[in-house]
Amino acid sequence: MSTTYTLDTSTSRANPTPQPMKRLSVPKIQRRKVDGVTAEPVVMLTAYTARTAQLLDAHCDMLLVGDSLAQVIYGLPSTIPVTLEMMCNHGAAVVRGSYHSVVVVDMPFGSYEVSPQVAYENAARILKETGAAAVKLEGGKVMAETVRFLVDRGIPVVGHVGLTPQAINVLGGYAARGRSEAEAKKIVGDAIALDEAGAFAIVLEGVLEPIAIEVTESVEAITIGIGASARCDGQVLVTEDMLGMFERTARFVKRYHNISENIVQAATDYANEVRSRSFPGPDQLYQPKT
């Protein structure tokens, strides 16, 4: 048993409650892939809040506290401005709201590139302050030494190659990667380098399908596709994109709902009732006791 926090959904308050620890582990995720084949694909979605984590947890194997919260939560133009404090705060909330999934927290831009030692200090802070199981960082061969440094010191790492949003100023846009032979070869080489360095999973974002298939067949790590291939070992999407919160999304996003329409309708109904003085009604008011 371990004492953690669960949300009382009737009041939206967090209350300390003893819960049995049934969370998946990094080794269990790793063992999904046997002789290069993952019979049960890994399900991963992003989460930034405790309540979202609660709703997604039972259906996912991994929850990613992505630096995509820059755009989704804070309305920022890119992931570049995200701070370590942001990631720690949201990561802790997601851990509090979940019991089953492996929680992975993105390392923000500037928190790991300087040196393996700096990366370790910041990754250790993330795990200490959030209770998450792993960190994710972007980059291929250039980050392999850092990945090995972290893994050797007890910090599980998810790599990320292909379209790497933190490098948007160098890439010049969010177009699919790997269209040239040289770039395709580099992506495969980057993934292999991360695998050899000890990354237990690798996100393949916005790459041509043949590249994703080649990488999946070439590495022992679990591959997590996002705009890659159904033949990856798992998939991830930004939850708000999948739910239809935004009008424009990347080509690789499938909308499973259009929740923005529900929110607009609810706000419209509320506004109309307030203006007509029909809300609050008898069911929402307190009357003197007789």
Cα–Cα distances in Å, from 144 out to 8, 30, 33, 224? 42, 19, 22, 18
Q: What phi-psi label fits residue 75: left (phi over 0), alpha (psi between -120 and 50 degrees) or beta?
A: left
Q: Is 68 annotated as a binding residue?
A: yes
Q: Is 241 annotated as a binding residue?
A: no
Best CA proximity match to 187, nearest among 146, 159, 166: 159
The residues that are catalytic are 205
Q: Is 138 annotated as a binding residue?
A: yes
In the chain, the largest separation of any two C-alpha atoms, in whole Å, equals: 82
Alpha carbon 181 to its chain's center: 30
Burial of 76 (0-12, 13-18, 19+ CB in 10 A): middle
Residue 89 in tokens: 């705060």
Q: Is 283 annotated as a binding residue?
A: no
Query: What is the spatial distance between Cα 105 and Cα 108, in angstroms, rounded to a whole number?
Result: 9
Q: Which are the contacts of 189, defined by CB distance < 8 A and separation ≥ 6? A: 140, 141
Q: Where are the alpha helices (DSSP H) in the chain?
A: 26-30, 50-57, 69-72, 84-96, 116-130, 144-152, 168-171, 181-197, 209-218, 239-242, 259-275
What are the φ and ψ backbone dihedral angles of 174, each rounded to 5 degrees?
-105, 30
Q: Is 152 annotated as a binding residue?
A: no
Residue list for the binding site for Mg(2+)? 67, 106, 138
